[in-house]
Amino acid sequence: MESIHQYEVFEVTMPKQQRSGYPGGVFSCGDHSVCIKGFAENANEGTLRFMPDRQGDWHYAVAWEGESVEGDFHCIAPKRGVHGPVRTQGHHFYYDDGARFIPMGTTCYAWVHQPPEMIEETLETLKSSPFNKVRMCVFPKSMPYNHNDPAFYPFEKKEDGVWDVTRPDQRYWQHLDFCICALAEMGLEADIILFHPYDRWGLSTMKQEDNLTYLHYAIRRLGAYHNVWWALSNEYEFSFGKTIADWDQFGEMLAAEDPYHHLVSAHDWITPYPKRPWMTHVSLQCADPGEVFSVRDEYGLPTIDDEFGYEGDLEFSWGNLSGFEFMNRAWAMVAFGCYISHGETFHRDDEVLWWAKGGKLYGQTPARLQFLAEVLRSLPGPIEPACAQAVRDPNGNASSEGQKQLIKMIWEMESDKGRRQIQKEMTRPIGQHPDFRLIYLERQVRSFISLKLPEQGQYKVEIIDIWGMTRKQAVSGVHGDITVGLPGHEGLAVLITRLSGEALC
């Protein structure tokens, strides 16, 4: 009996022989069964791809217009480092096997549409990067610094020049398979952007019927890869020919047709996509960490700010953040219990910018994102944002009753503005967990910080320099009210760890 690893792809191929449609089958392991729909691999074959999610003996039965094929295979333990698809729980991400997943993504929209030598260079760069997720488009991209045409397109064309979505160009799709598998080999998630508006080829203006045909094909062909995420859009508002009802139809199809239930999001330009049952997490474009925290709270879902600006020097407002400002925003987002994606846009005469085409990285942030990732992985659990800070009266005396009254008054305003405003004004980037508290001081320049720790127990305080990439112990074995000296410059975080005693939240 053939053996494959858990979460690998098992394929069944049948000759077409003038049959229409696609094959379908059932894969069973004990009392667990999964229905799988196939796709056209080429003009002569139909293929089913299946990802076993558990170990043991599997049986499959595949049928296609009167012909059937049955067989068995044995599923063994996954390869080292493979944890299965990413899932969500509460505000955070976990692999299928329960291991924590801390997104540290990067944006590389059109890397799969570049020449082979540039694709290889991108993969080599990713091998030594801190990233574990890549935002990438199925369709080629047309905008500044994106003027080259790809070698292949997702579909063949009809005689009148219109895309024929019933005839996928297998050269392109086999290439996309290669790229997704190459990311999986390195432990990276492929955050696949299914639709976007940056187009000069007519792919963004296809009829809804054609969009759905394409989406069916993408689900059946790519869904069996364990490292796939579905991103419906990049800046959905710019796709002027698509309505919210159209986007919802895409999301509902993914929820109904994807047997593996991969993650699904919809990225925005200005307004977060309305919360929907098919959304597994929020993908945002927002420069304000407090606003991102507010959306996280409102939606009750894991929230990734996939685009809060790029480290670079372009003429566009979104593409010229200093390295420090990029990291300042990244740490604030993380302390608010959110997640972030990297992007880099340094001008080059050859127009090879990482944000679009990949290649090499030139910025100062990747090393510092690696440091941030190491800090996050060292923590015993995920970060939750701290509660609103206490309101104080003019004489400096804490007033819990005044706090309650003020919160109630603003919270009950007729619009969402009051709720969002109180969240932004009365919270700071402070993350908490029973075993630790992370206070990020942003651009404050302080010589000391006063901390109120539990009276019982022992606690350690470390000072983190987000730019200098240092983590130094200030004091240990302390409790109660203490004052800790600080270096007096921007970009400092204070990490308090419980050694014994009361929880920190």
Query: Domain-by-domain residue ranges, the chain?
Result: 2-76, 99-147+189-209+225-363, 388-426, 429-505
Instruction: Render pLDDT for 269-295 as a digit per residue (tens, 0 to 9).
Output: 999 999 999 999 999 999 999 999 999
Question: Is the pLDDT at 414 greater than 90, yes or no?
Answer: no
pTM: 0.93
Q: pLDDT band for position 428 (50/70/90)?
A: confident
Under CATH, what is the fold of the domain 2-76?
Answer: Immunoglobulin-like (2.60.40)
Question: Is the pLDDT at 17 greater than 90, yes or no?
Answer: no
pLDDT of residue 16: 81
pLDDT of residue 254: 98
The count of other CB atoms within 10 Å of the CB of residue 230 is 26
Q: What CA–CA distance (Å, rounded) separates 342 from 106?
A: 4
Q: What CA–CA distance (Å, rounded) separates 396 from 393?
A: 5
Distances (CA, A) of 90 to 99, 103, 482: 15, 15, 33
Say which residues have a Cβ less than 8 Å from residue 339's Cβ, sequence separation at least 6: 93, 102, 103, 104, 105, 302, 303, 304, 305, 333
Average pLDDT in the chain: 93
Instruction: Render pLDDT for 69-108 as a digit per residue (tens, 0 to 9).
Output: 999 999 999 999 999 999 999 999 999 999 999 999 999 9
Q: What is the mean pLDDT of residues 225-250?
A: 97
Helix (H, G, I), strand (E, B) or coil at 346: coil
Q: What CA–CA distance (Å, rounded) separates 133 from 94?
A: 14
Q: pLDDT band for position 418 (50/70/90)?
A: low
Q: Which CATH architecture has domain 429-505?
A: Sandwich (2.60)
Instruction: Render pLDDT for 165-187 as a digit per residue (tens, 0 to 9).
Output: 999 999 999 999 999 999 999 99
Q: What is the share, in percent, of the chain residues with pLDDT greater than 70?
A: 92
- Measured in whole angstroms, how far is the alpha carbon of residue 104 from the centre of its chain? 8
pLDDT of residue 477: 97
Q: What CA–CA distance (Å, rounded) separates 395 from 310?
A: 43
Q: pLDDT band for position 394 (50/70/90)?
A: very low
Q: What CA–CA distance (Å, rounded) separates 378 from 435?
A: 12
Q: pLDDT band for position 1 (50/70/90)?
A: confident
Strand 282-285 to 303-307 pairing: parallel
Strand 92-95 to 100-101 pairing: antiparallel
- Domain 99-147+189-209+225-363 identical in fold to domain 429-505: no
Determine which of 19-28, 221-230, 459-468 has the lowest per-residue pLDDT on average. Answer: 19-28
pLDDT of residue 391: 39
Domain 99-147+189-209+225-363 has CATH 3.20.20.80: yes
pLDDT of residue 87: 98
Strand 56-64 to 24-29 pairing: antiparallel
Instruction: Render pLDDT for 115-164 as a digit per residue (tens, 0 to 9).
Output: 999 999 999 999 999 999 999 999 999 999 999 999 999 999 999 999 99
The count of other CB atoms within 10 Å of the CB of residue 219 is 23
Q: Which tokens go with 491? A: 């970009």
Unique residue bearing structure tokens 């019933």: 166
Q: Which tokens go with 340? A: 């972030």
pLDDT of residue 386: 87
Question: Is the pLDDT at 390 greater than 50, yes or no?
Answer: no
Q: What CA–CA distance (Å, rounded) separates 428 from 441?
A: 9
